């Protein structure tokens, strides 16, 4: 899991949510990841609200993903990056963070999706989150908010999960 200056304010909440799932994780400071070699021992990388990604980091992500990596993206990842990097990340992720929601809503997992969640009952809770916009035709919606227009909440492409 990557900790950055942008997710520092939410760090305790992010950490506590992961600890409550029982999933083991290691911490990677954003400034310590510059090349694909820096990710050589990482099987799955979680980018929670890492809003600034450099061109060098984007290249490293792309190389690492093609070689062996799995990627989980949460929140406005890459939104504060340079425009050319944002475009590269949108192509790499197959989606991008559109906007935050302002009202709590419930998530509905698509009928065709088999998710093995630690606590599926928690999906019945009302949450505030965001809307994910697909940028690739391979992007498959896994879950939607139960709101009038049912915007995407969870989306999968080939390897990244947003």
**Per residue in 11-68, pLDDT tens?**
898 888 888 888 888 999 999 999 999 999 999 999 999 999 999 999 999 999 988 8
Query: For residue 87, what are its two tokens?
Result: 């475009």
Coarse DSSP helix, strand, coil percentages of the chain, rounded to the nearest 5 percent? 30, 25, 45
Mean pLDDT of 99-110: 75
- pTM, two decimal places: 0.78
Cα-Cα-Cα-Cα torsion 81, 82, 87, 88, nearest 10 degrees, comes to -80
Query: What is the spatial distance between Cα 58 and Cα 87, in angstroms, rounded to a whole number?
Result: 10
Neighbours of 140 (CB within 10 A): 17
For residue 157, the model assigns a pLDDT of 57
What is the DSSP-derived secondary structure letter of residue 105? B
- What percent of the chain stands above pLDDT 70? 77
Q: Picking from 24-33, 35-44, 76-85, 143-152, which range would have the lowest pLDDT averaged per residue?
A: 143-152
Query: For residue 130, what are its two tokens?
Result: 């965001």
- 124 versus 148: the higher-pLDDT residue is 148
């Amino acid at each position: 899991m990557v900790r950055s200056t942008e997710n520092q304010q939410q760090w305790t909440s992010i950490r506590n949510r992961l600890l409550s799932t029982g999933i083991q994780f290691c911490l990677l400071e954003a400034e310590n990841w510059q090349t694909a070699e820096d990710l050589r021992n990482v099987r799955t990388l979680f980018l929670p609200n890492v809003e600034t990604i450099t061109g060098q980091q984007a290249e490293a992500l792309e190389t690492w993903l093609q070689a062996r990596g799995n990627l989980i993206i949460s929140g406005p990842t890459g939104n504060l990056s340079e425009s050319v990097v944002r475009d590269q990340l949108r192509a790499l992720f197959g989606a991008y963070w559109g906007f935050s929601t302002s009202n709590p809503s419930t998530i509905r997992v698509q009928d065709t999706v088999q998710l093995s969640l630690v606590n599926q009952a928690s999906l019945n809770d009302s949450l505030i989150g965001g809307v994910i916009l697909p940028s690739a035709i391979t992007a498959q919606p896994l879950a939607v908010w139960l709101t009038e227009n049912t915007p995407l909440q969870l989306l999968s492409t080939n390897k990244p999960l947003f």
